Structure 1
């Protein structure tokens, strides 16, 4: 399918004065279709093996569209999202913004992302007017501190020049370091956490809103996948025992990616349960310090899961700036189903 079909209008060339993430998340207003309707300016990424486009891009594009309908001194403080259908990277997306409420301190917007007339994603976004809560001395305040490392000191960001990053992990407008699993030897999955440093490539120059859009984009990265790491679940489309049968180049790439994602040596995954289906259902972000978000500087993402069962899992995430400021708290629930070995072997269940 031609490149133009992925967007409603012909895609402009990337703006070299903007960071890659700013180009990815640019939206175009379609006033000819009606008020408060926007569309993606550029084609969106469909991760290899995924059912649809990357969910973080839809979240961020909805936010970018909604922000265009509120005054500049209104900052997002929360968004509550539902993934309804897999989005296609070969079709344009229309973002319909509804102005639900405009108050003196708070404004509310709902956004529906649609493809071919069907709603694929919906979110309710709440904005707060900067300074409307009074002086700092008249407010209750506290925040979780930066997590501590094995040495008992706050964890430190990686060097600016990362090396030995797997090919798949080196794609896209963000860069990140190897995922670390803490308390890995615990027999209880809920006691484990994953940590990873992330930042946007290049320099974001579009102001605070561009940084907030970028944080929304990256918040969906490896989110529900935390379940696979704390339970040691094999996720590739072939048995772990067959890794040695791959050609040397592919075997090296799989081993490198598996280790980089905090899963260790594939040989340790032999006979471990395999993921049959994993997809996000909903996604919530609470933005705490919007003025302090610098998405083009290292941010620490720490995730854990308080519960999984009944074919679903819940994961919580905290995002910190490199100086230890808690920037955002996120929650996601998703479908997490193990591969049914009986069905895979053509056997019928006795249940």
Structure 2
């Protein structure tokens, strides 16, 4: 496999599809064997990240697996592990294994490989629509969508919200993010804090319900493990906060806007003396899809994240994704490496641990 981002020359983007649909398109490679797919276009490598955006690999693995099950089978869970940083300069091969095909459930495993090495693996379970019986004869409940401080329904951003309304560094992908709100931000206990945000895919998705599910999977990885840095107020930029004033004025303004956009306040200097992130990378990612037919990823969706635990160089974050009408669409869990930079040793104290 040569050093090129795709195995097949990419077609021009389809203007009738949303940007996220073009990004997540996969191509079947029957010439190499059954149930093998590849990325149609080069994946996104976020600035400063160790590898390609993890949500792309999750979503393209889901898209590949979906191609191997009947149309009336809908995804209800994905259990994923990130093994190696993916490279944007190399094509990805998605190897789908048909583990089980039952009357109600089907199971697939997908390995994403680059140069013969597995960079990502997931087990995906699908359920046949209607196999749960009549809705009138089911056990049902759902956590309600959160409300505002006055107990009123939360209102999504205006439909007219545009890329220009986001900081430049937050608007590079095929979906839009609204400003993050940190709840209980003055609490001394990180587990009592929550982050809230509205997200949606750019444009209008034309590919049916499966394209919406792929888009939700892609979006679910956004700002996820980073919740740990927000609730602990950790400095995450690749320079010291004390060096901010020495940067070009335009870059200072971008950092200030991004820091504020992510719920950390409009003056980054407030984080002086806070611990600095040394490494933060996702290890695993789980998505439970609750209402697949109600997912409209090109409409505003509300996310709420919190963390029940962090320690031993890792952290766990949970996420709930709601439609704008309050339907709980998905519940997600992610664990990641969260390591701090060593701080200068103070006189008379032992060498500190990483976390």
Counterpart pick for 2:300 among 298, 301, 307: 298
Match for residue 212 of structure 1? 213
Match for residue 227 of structure 2? 226
- In the superposition, the TM-score normalised over structure 2's length comes to 0.95
8 Å contact kept, 2:26–2:63: yes
Measured after TM superposition, the shift of residue 341 of structure 1 is 2.3
Between Structure 1 and Structure 2, how many residues are aligned?
345
Shift in CA distance, 254/32, structure 1 to aligned 2, threshold 3 Å: same
Match for residue 22 of structure 2? 23
DSSP 3-state at the match of 2:239: coil
CA separation in 1, counterparts of 2:86 and 2:166? 28
CA separation in 1, counterparts of 2:205 and 2:194? 30
CA separation in 2, counterparts of 1:322 and 1:137? 25
DSSP 3-state at the match of 1:244: helix
Match for residue 89 of structure 1? 88
Match for residue 329 of structure 1? 331
Q: Which range is displaced more, 9-18 or 238-247? A: 238-247
Match for residue 44 of structure 2? 45
Measured after TM superposition, the shift of residue 133 of structure 1 is 0.7
Measured after TM superposition, the shift of residue 247 of structure 1 is 1.5
DSSP 3-state at the match of 1:5: coil
Match for residue 181 of structure 2? 180
2:11 is the alignment partner of 1:12: yes
DSSP 3-state at the match of 2:165: coil
DSSP 3-state at the match of 1:316: strand
Measured after TM superposition, the shift of residue 350 of structure 1 is 8.9
Match for residue 312 of structure 2? 310
Match for residue 272 of structure 2? 270
CA separation in 1, counterparts of 2:123 and 2:95? 12
CA separation in 1, counterparts of 2:248 and 2:282? 33
CA separation in 2, counterparts of 1:87 and 1:73? 32
- Deviation per CA, 1:260-315: give whole Å up to 9, x if none: 01111201101111000000000000000000000000000110000000100000
8 Å contact kept, 2:342–2:352: no
Measured after TM superposition, the shift of residue 342 of structure 1 is 4.2
Match for residue 339 of structure 1? 341
CA separation in 2, counterparts of 1:241 and 1:232? 16
CA separation in 2, counterparts of 1:276 and 1:282? 19
CA separation in 2, counterparts of 1:138 and 1:165? 46
Match for residue 255 of structure 2? 254
Shift in CA distance, 350/225, structure 1 to aligned 2, threshold 3 Å: closer
Measured after TM superposition, the shift of residue 33 of structure 1 is 0.3
Q: Which range is displaced more, 144-153 or 219-228? A: 144-153
2:145 is the alignment partner of 1:146: yes
CA separation in 1, counterparts of 2:242 and 2:150? 36
Shift in CA distance, 350/79, structure 1 to aligned 2, threshold 3 Å: closer
Structure 1 outlier segments of 4+, above 2 Å: 161-164, 348-351
Measured after TM superposition, the shift of residue 138 of structure 1 is 1.1
Measured after TM superposition, the shift of residue 171 of structure 1 is 1.0
Unaligned runs of 5+ in 2: none
